[in-house]
Chain A
Amino acid sequence: MKGVTVWFTGLPCSGKTTLALKLSAELKRRGIISEDLDGDVTRKYLSKGLGFSKEDRDENIRRVGFVCSLLTKHGAVTTAAFVSPYRSIREENRKLIGNYVEVYVKCSLEKCMERDVKGMYRKAMAGEIKNFTGVSDPFEEPEHPELVVESDKETEAESLKKILGKLEELGYLGGSRDIAIPDYLRRDLVRIMAGQSFPDLPTFVTHILSQYAAQNSAAGDLSQSEEDAVREKLRKLGYIS
């Protein structure tokens, strides 16, 4: 997989981090390790001391964007889950990062407030928190995001499916649409799949490929030097005499 930053933007408590983590877990299951950035981490290590004024928020997002650009340039997959309310800084990051997929996690204010277990919206409405996006600070909706997921209308699984589909469509995740499956493999797949239940297609395919790898590698034997090395190891332990 080539490097890419998947940038989740949306109101507080809209479900950005949840979806980013879901995506990360699914990528990991497919053997792709992602670097996951969110506000809790970067506010502690990258942007300590910055507040929530527009300038400070832009600076925070700019710094995160810079880190994403480095990770992406070196082939890493990065998920970034930030409110990132201002359009201009998001566009700045899009240009800087290049391989950038913006996911707008759209959610009604009412639903976000309902999910807000920490009571931040309540505090913002009471004036206890200043510059709170959605209450006392604007959220500038993306004009051309790569994807919109509606977290108040879709299940997490549906949203994740859409994100994975978009990544495949954009060529960041390998698809199998262009691979012709040979007849012998098709027959084997049918034979092996018969009578077995797999939770999903990727699990099944991983299983099959593992079996094929095992069968194919069985054809190889140790080289003479490898045999000598094994013999020596076994002799030292008295396993062969």
Chain B
Amino acid sequence: MRTRSRQGGKKVLIIGLDGVSYGMIAGSAKRPSLLPRLREFFAAEALAPLAASIPEISAVSWSSFMTGTQAGEHGIYGFVDLVPGSYQYRFPDFRDLKAEPFFDELGARGLRSVIINLPATYPARPIPGVLISGFVALDLEKAVYPARYLPWLRQAGYQIDVDAGKGRERQAEFLADLHCALKVRRQVAAMLWEREQWDVFMFTVTGTDRLQHFLYDAYADPGHALHGEFAAFFQEVDQAAASLLERAEAMGNVEVIALSDHGFGPIRSEVYLNQVLAKNGFFVRENSDAKGLTAISPRAKAFALDPSRLYVHRQGKYPRGGVSAGDYERVRSELGQLFAGYEVGSSKAVRRVFLKEELYSGSQAAHAPDLVLLSAPGIDLKGGMEKECQSGTSHFTGMHRQDNAFIGCSRPDLLGGTATIFDVKKLIYRLLAT
């Protein structure tokens, strides 16, 4: 096989591990690392906790990763949003991203990127290099640029994602699907590594997130029937990472970043914010049989969108909004007080209530939620529009955490200052400049 002609300059390999917590890779005396080869690659000082975006969900956090900005600039506040001036839900995607991702900026400098399975990049559009979109991609045909790779991906059996529906009841099948999807993704990565000329190569695993949503209890409990299966999937992820690291080492001019977009932890309870709002008189619908947000009453002062976003039902902003500009701060303050003191099982459900101006600034800040809640560990905040109680449990056993994502870097001397997901883009640029 002909070798590529690579001239000058460093290249960067990025391994994205969706939802992998710092503890899972770093390990502890009680619980060894689930990713020992990756752990071994990064010396202790080259591995650090990373703060995710708020809210700590992939669409927001990966958008922040790729643009180096918070949602006030990139405009992605969640998986779901409202059509402006209405109560209709819409699902923001890559076309809604308002800040420039690193691969576009690098393209302007003549550098090429290969991006595989990065969430929040659907539908794929032309980039300087190759893009295979990740979650929530629907149709492979719209998830691949350039299109010439589409037949090959189809032939290889490439899957954008597994059917998460199996995670609830058909877990053996779910695990098999995760392995299968990862296996093909590794093959695709190996092919693109060889075939493409690139300066940044990014390979993202999302199965790590899927598994933890449904089987975090299997990780936490060594006696769980699927404890070994859980570890086996991470072992395969570790192997995938290790084979990329070997390729990088063989090339000799590749620096490495590994990171997650958020951490994970066990769920103690789910809290349904719209039910809490309803119980406390903030959320009211036209009649008790009505569903969804379209039946919101003019008397409603606030509503919530998944996962932890609160909106004041303002006059002029929403068709039936009843809160005047003069009352806005008062209502917002009341909401803050309500959730700051809200308890589940005699412990606080919310670690911190953020005002929008504390988190967001920039051209898209006008679309920001008025308040965002950062949950206490073990409390999974949800909109819960159709729930009948304020809290409860479900088949999900794991939940995202904002404070325990991780980052590893082959250059620990450059890692300093990379404390949040917003800092990673700068780190990529620093590594390319070495």
A interface list, Cβ under 8 A from B: 21-22, 25, 28-29, 31, 33, 36, 41, 196, 198-200, 203-204, 206-207, 209-211, 213-214, 217-218, 220-222, 226-227, 229-231, 233-234, 236-241
Nearest neighbor of B88 in chain A, beta-carbon distance: A227
- A240 and B109 in contact (CB under 8 A), knowing A221-B90, A233-B161? no
> Would you call A199 and B109 a contact (CB within 8 A)?
yes
- A241 and B272 in contact (CB under 8 A), knowing A211-B104, A217-B95, A222-B93? yes
Binary interface encoding of chain B residues 258-285 relative to chain A, with 1 for a CB under 8 A from any of its CBs, else 0:
0000000000000010000000000000
Q: Kindly provide the distance from the CB of B47 to the nearest chain A CB, expressed in whole angstroms.
A: 27
> Would you call B96 and A218 a contact (CB within 8 A)?
yes
Bound form: Cα–Cα A220–B57 in Å: 24
Q: Chain B contacts of A238 at CB under 8 A?
A: 213, 380, 382, 394, 396
- A239 and B306 in contact (CB under 8 A), knowing A198-B108, A214-B95? yes
Nearest neighbor of A240 in chain B, beta-carbon distance: B306
Q: Chain A contacts of B161 at CB under 8 A?
A: 233
> Would you call A203 and B110 a contact (CB within 8 A)?
yes
6 nearest A-B pairs in the assembled complex, by CB-CB distance: A236-B164, A199-B110, A241-B382, A218-B95, A203-B110, A207-B108
How many residues of B are counted as interface, with CB atoms below 8 angstroms from the partner's CB atoms? 50
Q: Chain B contacts of A22 at CB under 8 A?
A: 5
> Would you call B2 and A196 a contact (CB within 8 A)?
no
Q: Does B210 belong to the interface (CB within 8 Å)?
A: yes
Which of A36, A203, A237 sits near B213, CB closer than 8 Å?
A: A237
Q: Chain B contacts of A240 at CB under 8 A?
A: 79-80, 306, 383
Q: Which of B97-144 contact A (CB under 8 A)?
A: 97, 104, 107-110, 112, 123, 125-128, 135-136, 138
Q: Chain A contacts of B419 at CB under 8 A?
A: none
- A29 and B382 in contact (CB under 8 A), knowing A217-B123, A218-B95? no
User: Which DSSP category, helix, strand, loop or mixed, fits chain B's interface?
Assistant: loop
Q: Chain B contacts of A221 at CB under 8 A?
A: 90
Q: Chain B contacts of A237 at CB under 8 A?
A: 164, 210, 213
Q: Chain A contacts of B57 at CB under 8 A?
A: 239
- A29 and B136 in contact (CB under 8 A), knowing A196-B108, A203-B110, A240-B306? no
Q: Chain A contacts of B396 at CB under 8 A?
A: 238
Q: Kindly provide the distance from the CB of B93 to the nearest chain A CB, expressed in whole angstroms.
A: 7
> Would you call A227 and B148 a contact (CB within 8 A)?
no
Bound form: Cα–Cα A210–B106 in Å: 12
Bound form: Cα–Cα A240–B123 in Å: 20
